[in-house]
Amino acid sequence: MATIGILGIGEMGAAWARLLRRHGQEVLTYLDDRSERTKKRAQEAAVASRESVEALVRDADVVVSLVPTSAADPVADAVARAIPQAHPGLLFVEANAIAPGRVQAIARRIEAAGGRCVDAAVLGLARGIGNGTLVIASGPHAEALQAWSAWGFRVRVLGPEVGQASALKMLNAGLTKGLTALLLELLLTARGLGCLQQVMDWYDEAFGGLVKRVALSITGLPVHARRRAEEMEELAGLMAELDLAPTLAEATRRVLLAVASAAPPPESAGHAPEVTELLALLAERGALKGPTLPE
């Protein structure tokens, strides 16, 4: 049995934890200052909590970071500080939606502390972990994740360079979040014109079930829009580094922030809205009202 530390028991972290537990692995986390919802999620996934990051690093064979984009560096730094005394040689899996340059910098800090780092990324939804969602990995230690296939994970190693997996993740996020934002705008427009159902039916007919395939991304926006906006800010920064104008990445970020403001996450987990229900809520609250969205 392996012991896996997961920092970040959000929807994705909990999905990883449940799959690992189903395959007989022990899962640890650190829950100080976390919300009651997160603590409940950890309890439901049979995740044990340690009293500190140092204790988690000491007891885990592998530590996985699955946190919002803005938290990736602080989490990695906390792990790096713990490695020399608690667990030299620890394998750290950086699995967040961050730009390749940030992952490379994190890998250098982990390795300087005496650990090993895998650049990893999740392509797909949390509910698909173990059932289609792909975990990609790169870097000199990426092959270590291939063994997780025995625990129900669908893993693909891209290559030996840290940054390869995170690059693909960023570009995948740009497409999926951009498509979600565009479709949301168009469906709100169709609703205003009184032809919503006809437009949804046509999109599904003409584009291979487009609305049905993107529906989960749309209905999950009350919970995930703010985090996804952070990912688009990260993508915009990456494009700017390459001297490319991040026009659509920035527009997608603004749409997601507008949705986050108009439809905040529910107080407790429950029934996710249908696409039409969410559109009605956004229209009622004036989301995406023009002439332009705020920055």
User: Token pair of 214, please?
Assistant: 């993107």
> For 237-269, what is each residue's pLDDT tens digit?
999 999 999 999 999 999 999 999 998 877 655
CA–CA gap between residue 207 and residue 84 (Å, rounded):
53
167-284 adopts what CATH topology? N-(1-d-carboxylethyl)-l-norvaline Dehydrogenase; domain 2 (1.10.1040)
Averaged pLDDT, 159-167: 98
Question: Which pLDDT value is given to residue 270?
Answer: 56
Q: Is the peptide bond before 222 cis (omega within 30 degrees of 0)?
A: no
Q: What is the pTM of this model?
A: 0.92
Question: Which pLDDT value is given to residue 290?
Answer: 76
Sign for the CA dihedral angle at 131, 134, 135, 138 comes to positive
Please give the C-alpha separations between residue 159 and each of 134, 139, 218, in angstroms, as whole numbers: 15, 6, 33
Q: In the predicted model, is pLDDT for residue 272 greater than 80?
A: no
Question: Which pLDDT value is given to residue 264?
Answer: 80
CA neighbours within 13 Å on the CB side: how many for 33?
A: 4
- Asked if domains 3-160 and 167-284 share a fold, the reply is no
Question: Which pLDDT value is given to residue 271?
Answer: 61
Quote the mean pLDDT of the chain: 94
The CATH H-level superfamily of 3-160 is: NAD(P)-binding Rossmann-like Domain (3.40.50.720)
Question: Which pLDDT value is given to residue 114?
Answer: 98
Q: Where are the alpha helices (DSSP H) in the chain?
A: 11-22, 36-44, 53-59, 72-86, 100-112, 143-146, 164-193, 196-206, 210-219, 221-241, 247-262, 275-284
For the chain, domain boundaries:
3-160, 167-284
Averaged pLDDT, 1-24: 96
